[in-house]
Amino acid sequence: MMPLLKVEMNIFETILARRSIRHYKTQPVDQVTAHILLEAAVRAPTAMHREPWAFVIIQDKALFKKLSDHAKPLFIAKVTSHQSAYENHGHLLEAFRSPDFNIFYNAGTLILICGKKTAHPFEADCWMAAENLMLAASAMGLGTCVIGSALPAVNDPEVKLSLGISNEFSVVVPIILGYPDQDVTPNLRKPPLILSSMIAT
């Protein structure tokens, strides 16, 4: 087990500080740091102690471009084929049609959180692992962003094979990681929508 790190923020401060970062410095994230974040990820809750997750760490710029170029037309096709998706994401199509646009925002690291398909509910477990990873990254001064538009590409059978992901697994959460190169501004949220509150009298 990796040693615990001392960080400046408590857990609630970290939750409030986390942002989706889309601008990164060129400074790479070293392998030790990446593995510390995976240690945080696997501490997430897991149904029946199945721990269905597995991880792929990518830090190859040529591979980033290849994956981005493969993902963009798949995302465009998905958005344009569903009216509701088009209404929610239509503004992104112009960027995705640009040959220079990198869906990974030039981050130096991509972590794919994969789930064992027979271990239901593996998607929920993987998303909880993702949140642990992102909060740990935030506490360490790192930035993250989930890149959902990459999912059709990284779950392509040929792409999975090239990344060493067996058919036993499905990619659930692609997360970019790096050192933020943007101001991390306050992120407002709507107040909790409480549908009912049942209090014993």
Per-residue pLDDT at 98 exceeds 60? yes
Sequence spans of domains, the chain: 24-178
Q: Which pTM value belongs to this model?
A: 0.91
For 130-179, write each residue's pLDDT tens digit: 999 999 999 999 999 999 999 999 999 999 999 999 999 999 999 999 99
Helix (H) or strand (E) holding 144: strand 143-146
Does domain 24-178 correspond to CATH entry 3.40.109.10? yes
Nearest to 170 by CA among 115, 100, 97: 115
pLDDT of residue 6: 65
Whether 5 has a pLDDT exceeding 80, the answer reads no
Asked if 103 and 71 count as a contact pair (C-beta separation under 8 A), the reply is: yes
Which tokens belong to 162?
Answer: 């090239």
Beta bridge partners of 176: 110, 145
User: Residue 197: phi, psi to the nearest 5?
Assistant: -140, 110
Binning pLDDT at 50, 70 and 90, where does residue 200 land?
Answer: confident
Q: How far apart are CA 36 and CA 66, in angstroms?
A: 27
**Apex 18 CA angle, 142 and 174, nearest 5:** 70
Q: Are 79 and 90 in contact (CB under 8 A)?
A: yes
pLDDT category of residue 84 using cuts at 50, 70 and 90: low
Q: Which two tokens stand for residue 180?
A: 């933020």
Q: Which residues lie across from 111 on neighbouring strands? A: 57, 175
Q: 34 or 9, which is more confident?
A: 34
Max distance between CA atoms of the chain, in angstroms, equals 63
- Return the pLDDT at 90: 62
123 by Cβ neighbours in 10 Å (0-12 / 13-18 / 19+) ranks as middle
